[in-house]
Amino acid sequence: MKVKRYIVDDLPEAVQMIRSELGSDAVILNTKEIRIGGFLGMFRKKRMEVIAATDESAKKPPARVPQPARPFERKLAAPPVEEPSISLPSMPSNAVRERYTQAPFADSGRTMAAPKSEPKRVTEQLTFSQMASFQSTLEKANAVHESEEFQDRSSEQHIDTQAATLAAAVQHLDARESRNAKDETSALMQELRSMKDMMTKMSKQQAFRSMPEAVMKLSRRIAEQGVDPAYVEQFAEAVNKQLEEKGVADWDAAYECARILLLSWLENAKGSGIANSTRIVHFVGPTGVGKTTTIAKLAAEQSFSHQRKVGFITADTYRIAAVDQLRTYADILNVPLEVVFSPSELMRAYKKLSDLDLLFMDTAGRNYRNELFVSEVNSLLSPGEQTETVLVLSMTHKYNDMKQVASQFAKYGVNQLLLTKFDETDSFGAIINLVKEFDFRISYTTCGQAVPDDIKPFDPEDLVGRILGAPTDE
């Protein structure tokens, strides 16, 4: 059995090639439409795949060899000798045709050639070995055909994979080029900004050097107090401008201009204290700023000076002995105290203290740079027209830490500020920064541990004197 595969444009062309190469006894086993050629799975041409087979072992019987002529002898006619039938080891062609006219080849739509008549001496019976040989040949043909189909599919999948990979690579290159262009543009803009800032700084330095010595000295003094450099520049420019308008440059004139300028910055920072209409005051702030002691000082001031009935509420159940400390002050001042552990207990405390004029509520000191703790303490604050919230900060803290805490509470509308431990520092520039940055109102400052003496209303004149120093410090 000989099996051959043809790739042609159409079926008639294949039939002509099969007849010329395999003979008229060849049988078409399978036909299939395929696509070949192209580039990266595109522009492929449609072709027809035809698989044909023929039986090469089926041979015609040998021709009889002519006998040499003999002298004529008159003899009796001998009985006719019957020639033996010839058994071929393989299948005759008509058996192949009968095999492929059955399912699944009967519905292929092809017209089979009419079988030629075989000599009568060829047997029509198939032996078991012939059937086995034919079946083995057929299985090999099918295996070859399936292998070729699998290779074609694998080739197509490989081409598709290559095309997808190439497209992804092109897209990646485009994205990288675009990103590189953006990065280059961003780097260029950053360089330009840096150059601009450097030129501006150099210009300001040049202008600063040309300022009077008194202005430069005052500017250095407030910078040493911790005032932000941006505000120091504003200060120097404003004082120098006022001196130029007045046409003077001496120390006394410069000091007076500086004092008036700082007072104008603090003009709206002075708070009015606790209003008479206020009934509840909440005190919030980080750990160690002196909230509990400050509450005791204000309670004594309101009780003795303003004759108001005062009560305490504390939610500071985190710090050890915090409740005991406030209870001690409550016993000394003879005021009631309520302890709450959750927002749901606040209404009970307010109801029990409803006959009092003013309630001071102490909250726990936490790391209020974390917004989670800020929102937690904010849930304890009761909003209303008769309530105030005061942020307590210590002057011994760094300005960056104070700024972070202040920014967290400013989000919740807290604008009242109380500053403690004035007696423990010589640097007061942070107050200028807080007022300029957040527009706080400062009601009180504390300068010691004594209750109720070491607390007083905020005084801008005193603060400006602490920052600039005495006029005779030239």
Q: pLDDT for 391-448, tens place per residue?
A: 999 999 889 989 988 888 888 788 889 999 998 999 999 999 999 988 889 999 999 8
- Which has the minimum average pLDDT: 127-131, 146-150, 404-408, 420-424? 127-131
- Which has the minimum average pLDDT: 37-41, 183-187, 319-323, 449-453? 37-41
Most confidently modeled range among 72-76, 211-215, 293-297: 293-297
* Residue 98 pLDDT greater than 50, yes or no: yes
* Residue 182 pLDDT greater than 70, yes or no: yes
* Residue 138 pLDDT greater than 80, yes or no: no
CA geometry: angle at 361 spanning 358 and 367, to 5°?
Answer: 155
How are beta strands 310-314 and 337-339 bridged, if at all?
parallel
Residue 74's Cα: distance from chain center in Å? 118
- Quote the tokens at residue 91: 């299948």
Average confidence (pLDDT) over 331-350: 86
What pLDDT score does 178 carry? 77
- Quote the tokens at residue 354: 């409803």
Query: Comparing C-alpha atoms, which of 290, 454, 296, 420 is closest to residue 360?
Result: 296
* Residue 102 pLDDT greater than 80, yes or no: no
Burial 62-80 (b: 16+ CB within 10 A, else e): eeeeeeeeeeeeeeeeeee
CA dist 89 to 84, 122, 124, 128, Å? 16, 11, 12, 10
Give me the sign of the Cα torsion angle 224, 230, 231, 235: positive
pTM above 0.75, yes or no: no
- Mean pLDDT across the chain, nearest whole number? 77
- Tell me how far apart the alpha carbons of residues 256 and 18 are, in angstroms, rounded to a whole number: 117
What is the band of 117 on the pLDDT scale with cuts at 50, 70, 90?
very low
- Tell me how far apart the alpha carbons of residues 266 and 430 are, in angstroms, rounded to a whole number: 12
What is the band of 463 on the pLDDT scale with cuts at 50, 70, 90?
very high
What pLDDT score does 67 carry? 52
Q: Percentage of the chain surpassing pLDDT 90? A: 16
- Tell me how far apart the alpha carbons of residues 320 and 318 are, in angstroms, rounded to a whole number: 6
The domains of the chain are located at 1-57+90-198, 206-265, 280-458
How are beta strands 441-446 and 455-457 bridged, if at all?
antiparallel
* Residue 244 pLDDT greater than 50, yes or no: yes
Could you tell me the CATH superfamily of domain 280-458?
P-loop containing nucleotide triphosphate hydrolases (3.40.50.300)
- Which has the minimum average pLDDT: 72-81, 124-133, 186-195, 323-332? 72-81
63: DSSP letter: P
Identify the helix (H) or strand (E) that includes residue 183.
Answer: helix 128-209
Q: Which amino acid is at 272?
A: S
What is the band of 191 on the pLDDT scale with cuts at 50, 70, 90?
confident
Q: Percentage of the chain surpassing pLDDT 70? A: 71
85: DSSP letter: P
- Quote the tokens at residue 251: 């120390």
- Which has the minimum average pLDDT: 89-103, 114-128, 398-412? 114-128
What pLDDT score does 105 carry? 46
CA dist 245 to 248, 253, 360, Å? 8, 12, 51
- Tell me how far apart the alpha carbons of residues 281 and 444 are, in angstroms, rounded to a whole number: 14
- Tell me how far apart the alpha carbons of residues 364 and 291 are, in angstroms, rounded to a whole number: 9
What pLDDT score does 71 carry? 46
Contact predicate 295/283, CB 8 Å: yes
